[in-house]
Structure 1
Amino acid sequence: MFKKTLVVCIAVGLFVLSACKKNDVSTNQLDASIVQKIKALGFDTSRIIPMGKGFIVENDIYLSRTYLDSKVPSSPVIQIAKTEQYRTYNIVTGLPRVIKVALDGSANTVFFQQAVDEAIARFNDLGYQLTFQRVSTGQDILVKGYYEVSTSLGYAGDGVNDATGFPDVNGNPASVININTYYISTVNSVGYTASIIQHEIGHTIGFRHTDYFNRASCGINVAEPVNPLGAVQIPGTPSGADYRSWMEACHAGTGSSTFSQYDMFALAYLFTANGDPGAQPITDFYHAANSDHAFTPNQNFNYFYSGWVNNGRVFRAFLKPATGRIPVYEYYNSSLKDHCLSLTANDPSILQYPNWSMTGLIFYVYSTPVAGSVPIYTYYSSVGTNHYYTKVSNFQTIMPEYRNDGVVFYAAP
């Protein structure tokens, strides 16, 4: 049986999810009408695996024959860019809404409870109108376990009960997520298991794979179907590939990776009233060899850049402009190996010195205090040629080599 598998990509030092080949059926062995229906919905047809009353496509999505026979909506595809986040035509509706998640007997262990709770916490921490709750009964989504001696991870949907891995036409989430208990037991990581569950929940609420059109994260290149009716591009996500997305076809990262900032844009577009992700955590990452701190909304930073350690969240900031918010720009010195922040684009007070360059706008804050906001101080160490940002006003008493250069901005409540 095919699901999603783990292989090692030595070239980049990352683990990625890829397809196993057990029970694969080549496209030319299937009824042509089936292949055409799958293609018409915008799914990759290079590998289709019969299962139960339907088929698994794109490694981890179950499509029932009933789903394939249903009428494809005729509304136009939003053409924004070829590499943005994508959703299906059916998404979860009825906001604000709490989706209830339960575990059946095959997965109801303390380990799986912790993994489900962590996945749920990652969604709920965003503060959107779609939230999740773990329950014992009365669930909307059931997490089931299956045992297979392989590196298979899991899939959304259920071939036994003809449950497709996407929301139904009534705006309800897909009802089943399957997780391979054998593989999870070999990894033995609550955080990594939470990332797998988080990805599959993404399918159940209406998300396609971010790179569905070429599956680049899997190391393959499958041509994008013409007019992919089942993949609607979400405005606000990047025009370049987002290889840190929680919905990559082959989920990258060796650990507990979570949402990229563009995933937050995509989720906010679908599950908030105004499409604004709001105040999101800014994480401090530290590189000991370079004595350098980087402050970013990308909580997966350390999974894609070697040598960096997650030092935890330090404050919250906004990802979109709005009245009262001002942009913060990041600068980097390639010689000193130092990151710093400024409220000025192409800041001459920074760029006048050798080897500094502006890497871009990274988030929005307040320039003056507002209700509930927090002052953020900038500190500088000439010993390590390092800038540091914190809401701690007496940081120099903890780290005497740092000089307090005052309040640089005010963080979100």
Structure 2
Amino acid sequence: MMKKLLLFVMMLTALVSCQQSEIQSIKNEEAQVEKSDQVYEYIKSLGFKDDEIKDLGKDYLVDGDMLFDKSVVPDSSKVKNGRVQQYGVSNYVGYNVQPNITVRIDPSMNVYASEIAGAIAIWNSVTNCRVNFTLSTANDANITIYNSDLGSQICGASYTPINGLPSGQVYINNILIANNSFAQRQRTIAHELGHAIGFFHTNWMNTGESRTGTYGNQAYYDAKNILGTPVGTDANSLMNGGECGIGATALSSLDIVAVQFMYPENPPVAGTIPVFRYFSRTTTQDHYYTWIANDLGNGSNNDYIFEGVAFFAYPTQVTGTVPLYRYFHTKPGISLGDHFYTLNQSDVSSDPTYLFEGIAFYVYSQPLNNSVPVHRYWSSSYDDHFYTKNQNEVTGMAGNYSYEDVVFFAH
């Protein structure tokens, strides 16, 4: 029986790995000490013990390849429940960026150019996946792969996406991987590219990584389940952490399911279009759904974060579909509010605090044409409605969302 899998991705640009040793240090040493103490206490607030935190000089290392910059104090107000082991979703690479993610090889990595090309091919070979890596010599490439001395135990490191862009840097410890086989060197690079597009470690629960918070660069992250990947572990996952030199050298079947769900290329039904999901964490807690990619574009870490494709619907009415109406609920005392989606205008038409914004897109009111239910949840603490076809991702979700009903059906 196939071992169950839980693939996780971290909220927009969580720092899951190492930073280059050349990163400029804080000039004021006293300020640096004060900040590093705050960062250390923040890491402990996530549930890590003193003996699990390693001092690397400019960074603290946790769980083998997660780095916290000592010079940047994370926002502790975003921490929820420390090490609660729950499902997860990340901020994703923007829809318009996905088909051409450019990768530059720094001269320090020329010796492993073949391994880099092979690592790129691993991801590009996945069918029905919109993500495509392309080698580039441009200095402004989306990702640059560098050689970096990461210490005696860390083979590679990377950020995850922020502001709709993949991690700008991937670091590989050439000295440490030099004696590994070609396949294992290639695996290390492919693993870090996985982080760069938003994957967390598949085996994160076994290693005790935190479910939610912010990292040293202020990137938000939450761990939530990827639809189609059940709870558990997958020994064959390329995204398992702590397996440098011994890990899987190809994507597992469930790795493939996960990346296809995160970055689908083809609509499941002819005529449907992707509906994009965004979430604002800093200005207000509000989920927003649209099929128009330019509405909010690639998203912003300080505004509406891009959370990928929520489901597929229709831009115009076809047989059997009905309009889904969008309202904006103003919140008393503030100018920001909650977007509300419904099939029945009578739900809120008599309430003047709900402002009609038009037809969002077209969906089914019943399970026709192999459509699936889209569930609505409500958070009284966030004053926010959340819509998803994946009920698992709500488990342990910040905001204490409570279930309301199936609102409509989509793909």
Q: TM-score range by the shorter chain?
A: 0.3 to 0.5
Q: TM-score, normalised by structure 2?
A: 0.46
Q: TM-score, normalised by structure 1?
A: 0.46
Between Structure 1 and Structure 2, whose CA radius of gyration is higher? 1
